[in-house]
């Protein structure tokens, strides 16, 4: 099969340049075997337009920096094979995040702010003792935490989320996953009231409108919708406890 001629329509704009206006610019490349979107963007920058800005670091779906909208869908450029795309490819920066320039957005600031809001660290019950024995946990618990820790903070879930586009304060699936990760950790001693205050809001679990696009477009296949459901159940449980309608032991409190 002859190599295809690919037509890229690429968003260009530098918000820090008063002369710049948002526009789409066309580039043409010949497809090569096993070409990825990372390869294509690098060739465009090296051969056609040296000023094109986009983010690439690890090239291995680990750092999360290369997420862009590919024909309207959030994807990692480094793990998107060109052979899975049509000849005409439109590239836009991720929505929701602050535009740096062209295809580059600042996901870092949002993830830092989100981490502060959800207290993305172990809230230890005791002061740290460097001489104490290492805290133990079961293999099952460790595996569960590891699964929830696989988020690479690429922003695809938030970019795909209709609720996030309407509410910039929404914590998104990435934020909820982070909360679920610490709730699963036996070393974490944060009070339930603190969890309730963050989760049971329009910026938290009640901001989700259930479209489930977060999970559809998560490049790491994280269990986002089941954790959202878990937090919804957890919130209901905490609300019941708060209003003292049930005893702590009468409501199932688990992932099932
Ligand atoms: S370059 Fe790191 S995830 Fe794509």
pLDDT band at 1 (very low <50, low <70, confident <90, very high): low
Pairing mode, strands 88-92 and 5-12: parallel
- How far is CA 70 from its chain centroid? 16
Separation of CA 67 and ligand 1 centre (Å): 7
In this predicted model, what pLDDT tens digit does every residue of 26-43 receive, in sequence order? 999 999 999 999 999 999
66 in contact with ligand 1, CB cutoff 6 A: yes
In this predicted model, what pLDDT tens digit does every residue of 181-218 receive, in sequence order? 999 999 999 988 888 889 999 999 999 999 999 999 99
Give the residue, out of 76, 80, 81, with the most ligand 1 atoms within 8 A of its beta carbon, to mutate for a pocket test: 76
User: Is CATH 3.90.230.10 the classification given to domain 5-105?
Assistant: no
* Sequence ranges of the chain with CATH classification 3.10.20.30: 5-105
117 in contact with ligand 1, CB cutoff 6 A: no
pTM for this one?
A: 0.90
Q: Is the pLDDT of residue 240 over 90?
A: no
CA angle 223, 229, 235 (to 5 degrees): 135
Residues 6+ apart with CB under 8 A from 133: none
Mean of per-residue pLDDT scores for the chain: 92
- Ligand 1: atom nearest CA of 79 is 4
Give the residue, out of 54, 63, 150, with the most ligand 1 atoms within 8 A of its beta carbon, to mutate for a pocket test: 63
Domain 118-250: give its CATH code: 1.10.1060.10
* Sequence ranges of the chain with CATH classification 1.10.1060.10: 118-250
Strands (E), 13-145: 23-30, 67-70, 73-76, 88-92, 98-101, 104-106
Burial of 74 (0-12, 13-18, 19+ CB in 10 A): buried
- At 254 the pLDDT is 47
């Amino acid at each position: 099969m002859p190599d295809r001629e690919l037509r890229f329509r690429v968003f260009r704009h530098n918000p820090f340049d008063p002369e710049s206006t948002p526009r789409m610019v066309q580039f043409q490349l010949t497809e090569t075997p096993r070409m990825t979107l990372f390869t294509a963007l690098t060739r465009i920058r090296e051969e056609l337009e040296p000023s094109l800005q986009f983010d690439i670091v690890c090239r291995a779906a680990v750092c999360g920096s290369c997420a862009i909208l590919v024909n309207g869908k959030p994807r990692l450029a480094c793990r998107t094979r060109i052979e899975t795309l049509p000849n005409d490819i439109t590239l836009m920066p991720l929505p929701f995040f602050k535009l740096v320039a062209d295809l580059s957005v600042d996901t870092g600031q949002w993830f830092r702010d989100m981490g502060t809001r959800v207290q993305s660290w172990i809230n230890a019950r005791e002061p740290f003792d460097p001489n104490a024995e290492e805290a133990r946990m079961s293999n099952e618990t460790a595996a569960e935490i590891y699964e929830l820790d696989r988020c690479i903070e690429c922003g695809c879930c938030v970019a795909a989320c209709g609720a996030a586009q309407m509410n910039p304060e929404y914590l998104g699936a990435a934020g909820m996953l982070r909360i679920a990760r610490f709730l699963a950790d036996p070393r974490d001693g944060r009070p339930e009231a603190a969890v309730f205050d963050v989760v049971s809001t329009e910026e938290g679990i009640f901001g989700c409108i259930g479209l489930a696009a977060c999970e559809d477009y998560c490049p790491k296949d994280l269990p986002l919708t089941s954790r959202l459901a878990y937090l919804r159940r957890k919130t209901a449980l905490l609300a019941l406890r708060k209003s003292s309608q049930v005893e702590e032991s009468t409501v199932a409190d688990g992932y099932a």
